[in-house]
Structure 1
Amino acid sequence: MSEQSPPPGAVDARFTLAAERTLLAWLRTALGLVAAGVAVLHVVGEFASPALQTALGIVLIVLGIASAVVGSWRWYRVTHSLENGGPMPAPIGIWLLIGGLVVVSVAFIFVR
């Protein structure tokens, strides 16, 4: 028995489902970042500097929001590229989020 190839212009369901799984990973990351920000603001004890605690909590929440937005935008672009052809989205959003996470991580080293 041979596999039938999809009709011309059709997207292989495996690629569509892979794009959806990737979106879900972005959303899990966003949820984790938002939860970490809320924890820094409301659960963790007082930092040496309340202003730094507030700033780190807010930055984590903003990174979570950015992760959801970038992930959704990439999912849309990838799905559009799969359906209509064309280039895949550039990784600039990913690099910006990585940079933000590195900055926050380094800031946590110097807290307390």
Structure 2
Amino acid sequence: MSTPDPGLQPERTLLAWRRTSLGLIANGILLLASGHGSSDVRTGLGIVVLVLSLGCWAAVSAVYRHAKGAAVPALGQDRVLRIAAGLVLVVGLFDLYAVVTR
């Protein structure tokens, strides 16, 4: 019995996670730009968002690199998905704070 061919699904999943991370990075940059010179809170939030976004990018890339030799890359690991979803939620809350306090 042969192993199932995952096709391009793992590649598409990796690209989707990278797009999400890139959007989070853009949010961090915008928070930094909006807080530059006026608000230490926004600058701090921008730095935190950038660090978390880069961490999300690195985590997803590491999972993909680790599983690349396997038959099916494990991009659906529960821990990575929970961390990434939590990061998206935290960034959303930071953005909501930035909009409300504007």
Which TM-score applies when normalising by structure 1?
0.65
- Paired residues, what number? 97
Q: What's the counterpart of residue 69 of structure 1?
A: 58
Query: Secondary structure of 2:57's match?
Result: helix
Deviation of 1:91 (Å): 1.2
Q: What's the counterpart of residue 80 of structure 1?
A: 69
Larger radius of gyration: 1
Identify the match of residue 58 of structure 1 among 19, 22, 47.
47
| Mapped contact 1:63–1:97 kept (Cα < 8 A) | no
The answer for unaligned runs of 5 or more in structure 2 is none
Identity of aligned residues (%): 30
Query: Secondary structure of 1:8's match?
Result: coil
Alignment of 1:101-112 (within 5 A): 101-111=88-98, 112=101
Query: Secondary structure of 1:100's match?
Result: helix
AA matched with 1:99: G
Which TM-score applies when normalising by structure 2?
0.70
2:5 is the alignment partner of 1:8: no
